[in-house]
Amino acid sequence: MTNKKQFDVIIIGGSYAGLATAMALGRALRNVLIIDDGKPCNRQTPYSHNFLTQDGSTPKEISTLAKQQVLAYNTITFFEGLVVKGVKTESGFEVQTELGREFASTKIVFATGIKDIMPEIVGFSECWGISILHCPYCHGFEVKNEITGILGNSEFGFEFSKLISNWTKDLTLFTNGKPTLSDDQKAGLKKNSIEILEKEIKEFEHLNGRLENIIFKDGSKQTVKAMYTRLPFKQTCTVAEQLGCDLTEDGYIKVDAFQKTTATDVFACGDNTTRMRAVANAVAEGTLTGMTINKELVDLHF
């Protein structure tokens, strides 16, 4: 890569965590570049909840207002693009976008989120984030007391069923095959009137992403209005790994209490670092990241 204008910080990812990082740095008078491809993982989710002052706003409304407020700081620049390459240099880092644009910085932040890996069940992806949900704290109140399902098995299926029973008593655990639950777990579910259904699922019948029925491979169906599950995932961006960042056993970018990765001068925040997928958490991590980076940049002069 050729030499380019040197930013203090490049932030890859311009959603909640990235924008919060940028705001903290902009208020600290830092020269910051945000690079974002405009495809947040929650773009299909109709409403965001459990975030003070923004409860019930759409994800787009929150991010649009956040971007406007962040770009009011004249040391912050926003560039629309997809970063595909990063290298360590003597002065910091250089990154390259899919269309060949190159940028340089002293420090770098990955706020790139994760990519959910959808099961190959008809209708699942259309319902994801709308009526097939990952978090009751974000969406449970809106489907309270509805006919609800858990798609899962083993320890996860049991523990998530326990949790969701706080929001509804009309609850079924769909194992999509033979249950792998212990006798104690089965007894606990039965005690709380949580049915276990092991039929294999063929399709999620829905209307514009709103669940109506689960259709099973044996031809039967069951009405369900909301479903919770946890999906496998992969990192949306692999550039952090190119720069030497380690991943946890679960596949998240490994960070310390100050959002520092295992690679010097590389930070990460938001959904790519934690199972706690919530807007409020992403904003908190981003703010901490920006404050930590500014302190390190100050320390370079002393």
pLDDT at 170: 97
pLDDT at 275: 93
pLDDT at 46: 87
pLDDT at 3: 56
pLDDT at 233: 96
User: What H or E segment, with its residue span, contains residue 33?
Assistant: strand 32-36
pLDDT at 130: 95
- The pairing of beta strand 195-197 with beta strand 171-174: parallel
Q: List pLDDT tens digits, range 18-41.
A: 999 999 999 999 999 999 998 887
User: pTM for the whole thing?
Assistant: 0.94
Can you tell me the distance from the alpha carbon of 261 to that of 208, in angstroms, rounded to the nearest whole number? 40
pLDDT at 120: 95
* Residues 23, 287 contacting (CB under 8 angstroms): yes
Domains and CATH numbers, the chain: 6-116+232-299 (3.50.50.60), 124-229 (3.50.50.60)
pLDDT at 40: 80
DSSP class of 147:
-
Please measure the distance between the N-terminal and C-terminal CA atoms of the chain and give it in whole angstroms. Answer: 31
pLDDT at 154: 96
The SS3 of residue 41 is coil
In the chain, which residues have pLDDT < 70? 1-3
pLDDT at 184: 97
* Residues 101, 17 contacting (CB under 8 angstroms): no
Can you tell me the distance from the alpha carbon of 41 to that of 114, in angstroms, rounded to the nearest whole number? 7
